[in-house]
Amino acid sequence: MASSAISHHSAIFSANKEVGVKSSLNSSSNIYKCRKSVLCKNLTVMAAAQLSRAPSTTGSVKHGMTMTEKILAKASDRAKLEPGENIWVNVDVLMTHDVCGPGTFGIFKREFGENAKVWDREKVVIIPEHYIFTKDERANRNVDILREFCIEQNIKYFYDIKDLSNFRANPDYKGVCHIALAQEGHCRPGEVLLGTDSHTCNAGAFGQFATGIGNTDAGFVLGTGKALLKVPPTLRFELDGEMPPYLLAKDLILHIIGEITVSGATYKSMEFVGSTVDSLNMEERMTLCNMVIEAGGKNGVVPPDETTFKYLEDKTTVKYEPLYSDANARFVADYKFDVSKLEPVVAKPHSPDNCALARECKDVKIDRVYIGSCTGGKTEDFMAAARVFLASGKKVKVPTFLVPATQKVWMDIYSLPVPGSGGKTCSQIFEEAGCDTPASPNCGACLGGPRDTYARMNEPMVCVSTTNRNFPGRMGHKEGQIYLASPYTAAASALAGFVTDPREFLG
């Protein structure tokens, strides 16, 4: 089809642009772009051929499909498809939250009728979590709107909250939607998950197609259970080597975004493979896929394996079918990273691709540290921060805000022992280090929020954060400066009062 040829063309153009992009980490990283210019030439030849005939009608040479292509093929009942094709997919799960739910429901009713019913009451997951612990009346009203809709439609999965003064008094309330989806078993290999939030790509860690959509698209899915999607070509990222003890998945994805820029994966899928990826646990894989959107990516995927299946064992009984890229699948570009040579990094203000070595920012005085969000507020993230505080034994020099993503994470912080601490929990270590008390689980100040949001930046200041975006005004104040970092780097920075490489404290 012509459309797929054109998408290959633009892939060539974008790949060409990237060849000229300077890697900001040349000295310490070992990045190998796999024959990109040769790939481009091959694509040119293939694209030209496709302009004159449609492969599906002439039975052309069969080639393999990438994981994303396979998942979309299955979801659209197609034997095969090509990047660039517009296809109708069956949606397995649709998620919305308090910011987009009301608008989505408004559109649903306007288009399908006041008495319309959602396509499947068990496939819609409604999670209030963005602006919860606030006195903002509209924010509170939006949660009520979610509830009214769920009652009317008899929605099975609604993680409600009524008592805003005490999150623990709400047994259904979960917290940050993307982590709640994972913890509640809604993320499954081979499926299509759409959500009204950019970090829906987080779920790609489970080997499924997951991406963010707007209210209108979501309203359409609510009524029909289908979505019109364009098949993205895939960028492949091979991460090999043993993960150094001072590095986390957040460092890996910041390196990658720094390499390909904030538009490097636009309209594309990002597939993460390699021995390092295999060694990551599910939460670390989520961190990797979570920030795919920050590179402009449509979705991210990690091949499911025993780690995935084990995680899902006690969370879901729904049958799933893992899908994997064929050996002869075509990728638009290949990147190889030797992880053992990478160093901790930060994304400096004001862009997630403004990548720099943490140790080269050690003169940057900071005012606060924020550890939270779907990107950096999971159990593993807090365990990591606790390890740094434990190793140091000292107190933080700046206000350090801890916002667990979900109720489960909050409970883990208060109950799981931190290895090597003699049985202390994260919460005890945080208290001894002088951090703020872990707050109510929600999205919090990652995106600023209503003015009274806990840890919102209401004056210009410098913050090291485990969150996902640092564009101007992201955490509240337009002149605020946000350094995105891993939990290790965030904790180290809190202890030093400056942006700090975690190797200052970790072996």
Residues making contact with another protein (CB under 8 A)? 1-3, 6-7, 9-10, 13, 51, 84, 86, 88, 99-100, 102-103, 106-107, 110-112, 116, 130-131, 136, 138-139, 142, 145, 196-198, 200, 211-217, 220, 223-226, 228-230, 262-263, 266-267, 293, 296, 298, 351, 447-451, 469, 471-474, 476, 478-479
Whichever of 96 and 440 has its CB closer to another protein, that residue is 96
Please give the Cα distance from 304 to 352 (Å, whole number): 27
- Residue 380 phi/psi, 5-degree rounding, is -65, -35
Per the rule left: phi > 0, alpha: psi between -120 and 50, beta: everything else, 473 is left
Minimum CB distance to another protein smaller for 13 or for 309: 13
Q: Are 159 and 385 in contact (CB under 8 A)?
A: no
200 contacts 193 by C-beta, under 8 angstroms: yes
Give me the count of residues in the chain.
Answer: 507
Least separation, in Å, of the C-beta of 105 and another protein?
Answer: 8
Instruction: Return the number of the residue (217 or 501) whose C-beta is nearest another protein.
Output: 217
Could you tell me the CA-to-CA distances from 136 to 133, 164, 379 in Å, in that order?
A: 9, 12, 29
Residue with Cβ nearer another protein (235 or 491): 235
Among residues 102 and 372, whose Cβ is nearest to another protein? 102
Q: Is 33 helix (H, G, I), strand (E, B) or coil?
A: strand
Which amino acid is residue 313, in one-letter code? E
In the bound complex, what is the minimum distance in angstroms from residue 447's beta carbon to another protein?
4
Minimum CB distance to another protein, residue 267 (Å): 5
| CA 227/CA 230 separation, integer angstroms | 10
Fill in the amino acid letter for 172.
Answer: D
Please identify, using beta-carbon distances, which residue of 212 and 304 lies nearer to another protein: 212
Round the CA-based radius of gyration of the chain to a whole number and report it. Answer: 22
Nearest approach, Cβ of residue 86 and another protein (Å): 5
Question: Which residue, among 298, 299, 320, 301, has the nearest Cα to 309 in the 3D structure?
Answer: 320
List Cβ neighbours of 246 (8 Å cut-off, separation of 6 or more). Answer: 344, 488, 501, 502, 503, 506
Instruction: Report the SS3 class of residue 434.
Output: coil
Query: 224 or 425, CB closer to another protein?
Result: 224
Least spacing, CB of residue 244 vs another protein, in Å: 31
Q: Please check whether residue 314 is in contact with residue 218, taking contact to mean a CB–CB distance below 8 angstroms.
A: no
Q: How far is the CB of 20 from another protein (least distance, A)?
A: 13
In the complex, the smallest distance separating the C-beta of residue 47 from another protein, rounded to whole angstroms, is 12
Q: Shortest distance, CB of residue 330 to another protein, whole angstroms?
A: 17
Cβ proximity to another protein: between 82 and 217 the closer is 217
Taking the least distance from each CB to another protein, the nearer of 84 and 204 is: 84
Q: How far is the CB of 446 from another protein (least distance, A)?
A: 9
- Number of neighbouring beta carbons within 10 Å of residue 186: 24
How many Cα atoms sit within 13 Å of 131 on the Cβ side? 23
Instruction: Name 313's Cβ contacts closer than 8 Å, sequence gap at least 6.
Output: none
